[in-house]
Amino acid sequence: MRKILIPTDFSDNAFNAIKYALELFKYDISQFYIMHAYQDEIYADETLLNRQKLDTITKQVHKTSTKKLENVLKLINDISPNPRHEYHIISTNNILVDEADKIVDKENIDVIVMGTRGETNDRRLTFGSHTLQVLKYVQCPVLAIPENYKYTQPKHIMFPTNYMIPYKRRELKLLCELAVPFRAKIDVVYISKSDKLSMRQEDNKRFINNELCKNQINFLNIKNKDITKSILNYIEINDVDMLVMVNTRHSFLENILFQSTISKLSLHLEIPFLALQNIKRI
């Protein structure tokens, strides 16, 4: 049984992520948790808010949220009536990142699926602020789907890594199980000015190979110090369908996500992006 959490703000981008997840997990017995966290909407205009109005506005926002979630559920059943899938809707007075963290822990969620941008849809950014917060702070794999991305079976997956961290079996199992039904090949790419690996890197590389043994794996080296540019070039040249990276201390992804502010984020992805092994920050 696979458990998938899908946060929504009822935007087209959010529903596009839902449609992608329905197709990707079409053959899996799955439970989908469709969640809307609306606390930000309650306090959107504090100049109009007072204690007397707070309860009334909260009830109104909750009622609207629940109705919209029910409409989303109806659309899901219209476009993808799948007996393997079970759905739960969650409308909650909370901020998105906290509620996602709570549901991940309570329901033992396998993966969060969400759009790269939400309702505000700032095209200068790869990830909207909510998506980036989830990528940074929620301890669960996150699959981010670009705006207007039409579902394509992931046949060619790029997995850049520096081999510096001990991987978790559960996360690599998720990658393995995503790739197997589509007979996807996984390119494990080491980007460095040197192709020499330490003993620890060799051990971690061996672990990846063992855990992904059901898949076609290619281990490749790219001699370059510009990680972001190398990844984007590789995706374009090799028609990659999905990018997979690990987010933990001393990883490529941590360097990309945390070296700059959101407005300077330079990783402009046009394919689904799976971030594994997310870590809490204090």
Q: Which CATH number covers residue 69?
A: 3.40.50.620
> Quick one: pLDDT at residue 278?
52
- Is the same domain home to 169 and 140? no
Residue 278 within any structural domain of the chain: no
Quote the number of domains for the chain. 2
Residue 227 vs residue 95, higher pLDDT: 95
Average pLDDT over residues 222-228: 86
- Is the same domain home to 112 and 51? yes
> Quick one: pLDDT at residue 225?
83
Quote the percentage of the chain above a pLDDT of 70: 83
- Is the same domain home to 190 and 141? no
- Is the same domain home to 179 and 114? no
- Is the same domain home to 116 and 167? no
Average pLDDT over residues 106-111: 95
Average pLDDT over residues 142-166: 91
185 has pLDDT over 90: yes
Residue 236 within any structural domain of the chain: yes
> Quick one: pLDDT at residue 267?
53
126 has pLDDT over 50: no
What integer best gives the mean pLDDT of the chain? 85
Contacts of 19 (CB under 8 A, 6+ apart): 79, 80, 151
- Is the same domain home to 160 and 141? no
> Quick one: pLDDT at residue 217?
95
Last residue of a domain, one of 123, 145, 167: 145
Residue 57 vs residue 83, higher pLDDT: 83
Residue 107 binned pLDDT confidence (cut-offs 50, 70, 90)? very high
Residue 276 within any structural domain of the chain: no
- Is the same domain home to 168 and 230? yes
Average pLDDT over residues 180-208: 93
Residue 90 vs residue 246, higher pLDDT: 90
Residue 165 within any structural domain of the chain: yes
- Is the same domain home to 133 and 173? no
In this prediction the pTM is: 0.88
Last residue of a domain, one of 145, 176, 208: 145
Last residue of a domain, one of 145, 174, 207: 145
- Is the same domain home to 74 and 168? no
Q: For the chain, first and last CA: distance in Å?
A: 32
- Is the same domain home to 113 and 207? no
Structural contact between residues 139 and 104, judged by C-beta atoms closer than 8 angstroms: yes
- Is the same domain home to 83 and 192? no
Domain of residue 193 covers 156-268
13 has pLDDT over 80: yes
Residue 218 vs residue 58, higher pLDDT: 218
